[in-house]
């Protein structure tokens, strides 16, 4: 029989991957940490003597906990799905927190996480586990209490929604940086036409303030109007890598005020996702 020290060591070995699974499932670092901690409590109460694949067993435990949390969230959600922005992973020059390394690896763009927020819990689990972490449908089916064919169908349905909402191809990082730098300059100068020129005609702006004034804006002119109007005293903006893509960290008088993630396709901005919820921003490990 393996002792507690053995299982504690195995769990720590797999913790980065478990946290990455939970983050993609939940879109929240705090909830991901809660899910991983709850998984450890379950592991510590189980013998695990008959486990052949420790990593798979731990992934199953964390995934079931995430599924329960997603279902609970769905029943009590008050904020509209179309304005919620998941927690961002931010690189801004300094070394990234080691705890975020596994989350950033094979990085999932913030726009994709926004799409995942709108999926049913079972769809999200099937898609994340299979398409991101290569978990076989037989194991996913066991977590969901469905057949492998049903699990495959859930992942396929989720994949169609993701593909329909995601721009094709991988944009050039250098070009992304140029576009965001141009955006910062145009927004700082209130250059409405300059902002419009950087936007796709059907561009989307999503602002999650954590309050009733969260908003979803569509169309290049409307998005540019919002951006050109927002020039708070003491506002500073600097380029940052957000979930592996182009982004901005904004501060007001040295205090973190927002994190912006840009989705670029064919040289134009198609989506801007902004987290401006003070409580959630305060919980992120971002140097202003």
Q: Is 272 helix (H, G, I), strand (E, B) or coil?
A: strand
Domains and CATH numbers, the chain: 4-165 (1.20.140.160), 173-283 (3.10.450.50)
The edge-to-edge listing of strands for the beta sheet with 255-265 is 90-91, 235-242, 245-252, 255-265, 268-275, 199-208, 215-218
The whole-angstrom separation of Cα 243 and Cα 276 is 16
- Crossing angle of helices 173-188/220-229, nearest 10°? 60
Span 196-219, pLDDT tens digits: 999 999 999 999 999 888 999 999
Q: Is residue 162's pLDDT more than 80?
A: yes
Better pLDDT: 241 or 77? 241
Share of the chain above pLDDT 90, in %: 60
Contact 92, 238 (CB under 8 A): yes
**DSSP classification of residue 85:** -
**How would residue 95 be classed by pLDDT, with cut points 50, 70 and 90?**
very low
The whole-angstrom separation of Cα 159 and Cα 274 is 24
Span 179-189, pLDDT tens digits: 999 999 999 88
Quick one: pLDDT at residue 5? 82
**How would residue 105 be classed by pLDDT, with cut points 50, 70 and 90?**
very low
Quick one: pLDDT at residue 94? 47
End-to-end alpha carbon distance in the chain: 49
User: Does the pTM of the predicted model rise above 0.95?
Assistant: no
Quick one: pLDDT at residue 101? 47
Contact 166, 115 (CB under 8 A): yes
Span 31-90, pLDDT tens digits: 999 999 999 998 888 766 677 788 999 999 999 999 999 999 866 655 555 688 999 989
């Amino acid at each position: 029989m393996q002792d507690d020290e053995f299982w504690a060591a195995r769990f720590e070995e797999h913790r980065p991957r478990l946290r990455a699974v939970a983050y993609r499932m939940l879109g929240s670092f705090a909830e991901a940490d809660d899910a991983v901690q709850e998984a450890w409590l379950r592991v510590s109460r189980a013998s695990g003597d008959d486990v052949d694949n420790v990593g798979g067993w731990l992934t199953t435990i964390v995934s079931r906990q995430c599924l329960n949390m997603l279902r609970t969230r769905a029943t009590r959600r008050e904020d509209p799905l179309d304005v919620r922005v998941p927690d961002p992973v931010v690189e801004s020059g300094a070394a990234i927190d080691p705890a975020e390394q596994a989350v950033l690896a094979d990085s999932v763009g913030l726009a994709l996480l926004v799409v995942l927020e709108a999926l049913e819990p079972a769809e999200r689990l099937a898609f994340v586990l299979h398409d991101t972490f290569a978990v076989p449908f037989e194991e996913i089916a066991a977590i969901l209490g469905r057949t492998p064919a049903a699990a495959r169908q859930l992942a396929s349905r989720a994949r169609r929604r993701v593909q329909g909402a995601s721009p094709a191809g991988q944009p050039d990082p250098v070009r992304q940086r140029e576009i965001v730098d141009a955006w910062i300059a145009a927004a700082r100068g209130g250059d409405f036409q300059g902002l419009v020129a950087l936007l796709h005609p059907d561009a989307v702006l999503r602002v999650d303030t954590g309050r009733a004034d969260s908003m979803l804006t569509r169309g290049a002119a409307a998005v540019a109007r919002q951006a050109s109007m927002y020039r708070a005293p003491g506002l500073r903006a600097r380029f940052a890598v957000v979930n592996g893509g182009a982004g901005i960290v904004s501060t007001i008088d040295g205090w973190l005020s927002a994190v912006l993630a840009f989705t670029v396709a064919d040289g134009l901005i198609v989506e801007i996702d902004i987290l401006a919820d003070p409580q959630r921003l305060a919980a992120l490990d971002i140097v202003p």
